[in-house]
Amino acid sequence: MTAPPNIALIGPMGSGKSTVAHQVAAALGWTAIDIDAEVEARAGCPISALFAAQGECAFRALEHEALADALAGRGRVIATGGGVVLDPANRDRLAERAHVLWLRASIDSQMGRLATDTQRPLLAGNDRRATLQRLAAIREPLYASIAEAVVDTDGLDPDAVAARVMATLPSMEPAAR
């Protein structure tokens, strides 16, 4: 069986997907794609503004399109949004077109990493811990359903996480883009 043409990092907000995707892509000579950044480019505004003006459904539709476009290529390390797994079609596409790695982070780690982040619409409420726990209860089984490997990120800096990601990969060679 041939290795999937891409690598996708899934996991909750604050797990390091965007930073690690860039590091892994650089190590492989591949292209890094951040789905949230792609959504913002398509929307012409920050995700928080998209949520405020059009709601989560509009965000999820753009996220679905951006993921499909990213996975249509080869040699890409894709940082997904934490909720990308909510759409069964996204899960199917990820499983077909990418080596999927779950960057797992505890609620305590997420709380620390996101302490000063004011741009995430799903964390706009008063009780961030309860929100993160609620999201984890829904999303973790979905991450587990498609992840080929899990990389625990607690207590690690992005370099160490990237090294662990690289260690989980099958023999990956630069792919035609």
pLDDT at 175: 44
Domain boundaries, the chain: 6-166
Helix or strand run (H / E) with residue 13? none
Q: Is the pTM of this model over 0.85?
A: yes
Q: How confident is the model at residue 3 (pLDDT cuts 50, 70, 90)?
A: low
Straight-line distance from the first to the last Cα atom of the chain, in angstroms, rounded to the nearest whole number: 20
Render pLDDT for 61-90 as a digit per residue (tens, 0 to 9). 999 999 999 999 999 999 999 999 999 999
CATH number 3.40.50.300 is the correct assignment for the domain at 6-166? yes
